[in-house]
A and B are shown apart, each in its own frame.
Chain A
Amino acid sequence: MSDLISISDLVVNFDTKRGTLHAVRGVSLNIAAGESVGIVGESGSGKTVFSRATMGLLRGKRVHRTGKIMFEGTDLRSLDHDQIRDYWGTKIAMVFQDPMTALNPVRRIGSQMSESLVKRLGMSKEEAKKRSIELLSQVRLPEPELALAKYPHQLSGGMRQRVMIAMSIACNPKLLFADEPTTALDVTVQAQVLELLADLRKDMGMSMVIVTHDLGVVAGYTDRIAVMYGGEIVELATTTDLFANVKMPYTEALMNAIPRIDRKRGSSLSAIEGMPPDPTTTHTGCAFAARCPYAQQKCRDEHPELVDVGNGHLYRCFFPIGGK
């Protein structure tokens, strides 16, 4: 498989009152056509900023973005606002976490959906309506004709997320970012939405990036997983390899923190004590050292580089689990 998008050394800094905030600190990631990648991390790990910066959604005087984002031979970073807009929807699209705030509350679903179809694909209003109904049935929304006349507040959270997904795939994007697509939903609906995303990816041959704080969500739906901490990728591996041969203590800690339905009760959950690092500081040592049960002096003094195990499994640790 060839790479659809190749991100190298992406750095995103924000100017804030408290000084420079290092949200993403040099992330490189290639995503193949048709591949599904999970980006996992806690709040503040930089996962959302990474995906938005990749799409070019973060702009302004206070945002500093360096690195390369090669998408089909073009560096997305070199494009101006009008040029990047041509990519949104048709090449790269995003499903946001909160479908209530992402949809316009005072416009009917139908008019929000047809907007991109009319403007982007040059459809007539009639065609756009027909296509909207097709899209809503594709995302398995019951009674799609009726839904077009409704306002977002008349739909449940799961239905709104389906509308968001329908809108994001309306122009057949090649890469879909799904930022915490199921966090606001009930488990039963979460399972439905994840199944739907997996089916759409297969049917449309899209690449997909699922951004989430929950390893459980991505375990069954991704080919590879990148774990982010303190603005960096700290481990990257195929999903099966990550779970079978975890190297980075942070990934292990994340796995142990998840309450599991297939485990008996009574075992106390292993919390990760402490807080993620302050993004306004630069770390000299390993970003996770302060919370790491295996940390040694070297971890606090030197910054570990990504090490390749050999099969594309990368980790950022001096003392990996199971040895080097």
Chain B
Amino acid sequence: MAGTGKAHLRDSPTPILRVEDLVIEYKTKGQLPVQAVSGVSLEVHSGETLAIIGESGCGKSTLGKGILQLIETQSGSVVFDGVDITKLSKEDLRQTRPNIQMIFQDSISSLDPHMTVSSIVEQPLKVWNRGNDEERKNKVNDLLRSVGLDPEVVGDRKPSEFSGGQCQRISIARALTLSPKVLICDEPVSSLDVSIQAQILNILQEMKNRYGLSLVFISHDLAVVRAISTRIVVMYLGKICEIADPDTLCETPRHHYTHALVSSVPVPDPTIKNRRAVLQGEPPSPTNPLSGCRFRTRCPAATELCATEEPQLREASAGNFVACHHPRS
């Protein structure tokens, strides 16, 4: 995979968020820096749910934090509403923050254990000095209700009294207090039970429609992502391998890595052949990136070309972009 290139970026309509050639490195002791995100370009269109999927260590969470500028980015740009936020001063960046919010995988540890639920949800409003006490209280109550919590019951309680699913509802309410335009969800349901997972996914969907949000949904679970996203970006070792709409991606994956991911997902139906085309091994270390295509060491179709030349993202069919020298037909 190891795809670079920007064939998938459209010129119009203006995306709400446009990431171009983003590079994010982590410094390591005594060694060369590790490149977690190696020149990723993508767009988030208004009202869409863009999913980013891949295995642990593919850089998907780093990319999410990079978009928010929660971590330093080495090069490239993140354009939100026409402004490159990587170039902003600290204060200007702070001013854009209410527009892009994030919810995290571990909802319990992302809530301050000493604060009550209503003060957690109210805090962003206080920080930004929005509304008077009365207005803030109403807003908090509305938000809690919209994520399915009763403010009378939960308002004065603390996060430790709630289950993981309920804490995730509280984090969603908090992330929405400032009416963001983009919500970045980093594995929001992967630590939850399946039954609760569906509740949270439905809430996110509902919030998206109600508040006109655009979602960036980071996940390792293709089945979850297929159900809720409008487009899927598949990442491997810091690069994009494939971009497509969910149905195309899951039914006719062009990249060999996507195909392996799709066939690894367990299907809850015993009549379906249970032996799956299992991808062997694990991704190589990002400290020493491979030449050419980064997936070639695990790819069944790799040739010499894959070792020498890095594949570029190109359009395999309408809206389906793949970075592979020998894509599946």
Are A216 and B268 within 8 A (Cβ)? yes
Stretch at the interface among A118-126, A258-266, A315-323: A258-266
CA distance A17 to B260 in the complex (A): 49
- Select one of A217, A257, A265, A268 contacting B266, CB under 8 A: A217
Are A187 and B221 within 8 A (Cβ)? yes
Given known A-B contacts A187-B221, A187-B264, A259 and B226 have beta carbons under 8 A apart: yes
A142 on the B face (CB < 8 A): yes
Most chain B beta carbons < 10 A, residue from A156, A239, A258: A258
CA distance A195 to B281 in the complex (A): 13
Are A192 and B226 within 8 A (Cβ)? no
For A259, list chain B residues within 8 Å (CB): 197-198, 201, 221, 223-224, 226-228
Q: How far apart are B148's CB and chain A's nearest CB, in angstroms?
A: 9
Are A43 and B268 within 8 A (Cβ)? no
Are B163 and A257 within 8 A (Cβ)? no
Q: How far apart are A260's CB and chain B's nearest CB, in angstroms?
A: 6
Within 8 A of B (CB), among A42-63: 42-43
Q: How far apart are B250's CB and chain A's nearest CB, in angstroms?
A: 6
Are A186 and B278 within 8 A (Cβ)? no
B61 on the A face (CB < 8 A): no
Tally of chain B residues near chain A (CB < 8 A): 46
Within 8 A of A (CB), among B193-246: 193-199, 201-202, 205, 220-224, 226-229, 246
Q: How far apart are A249's CB and chain B's nearest CB, in angstroms?
A: 13
B271 on the A face (CB < 8 A): yes
Given known A-B contacts A219-B274, A265-B247, A272-B195, A158 and B282 have beta carbons under 8 A apart: yes
B23 on the A face (CB < 8 A): no
Within 8 A of B (CB), among A215-238: 215-217, 219-221
Q: Which residue of A lies closest to B280 (CB)?
A: A192
B270 on the A face (CB < 8 A): yes
Are A263 and B227 within 8 A (Cβ)? yes
A254 on the B face (CB < 8 A): yes
Residues of A whose CB lies within 8 Å of any CB of B are 42-43, 142, 156-159, 186-192, 194-195, 213-217, 219-221, 239-240, 243-244, 253-255, 257-265, 267-273, 275
Counting from the closest, the 4 A-B pairs by CB-CB distance are A220-B274, A271-B198, A216-B268, A269-B198
Residues of B whose CB lies within 8 Å of any CB of A are 55-56, 163, 193-199, 201-202, 205, 220-224, 226-229, 246-247, 250, 260-272, 274-276, 278-282
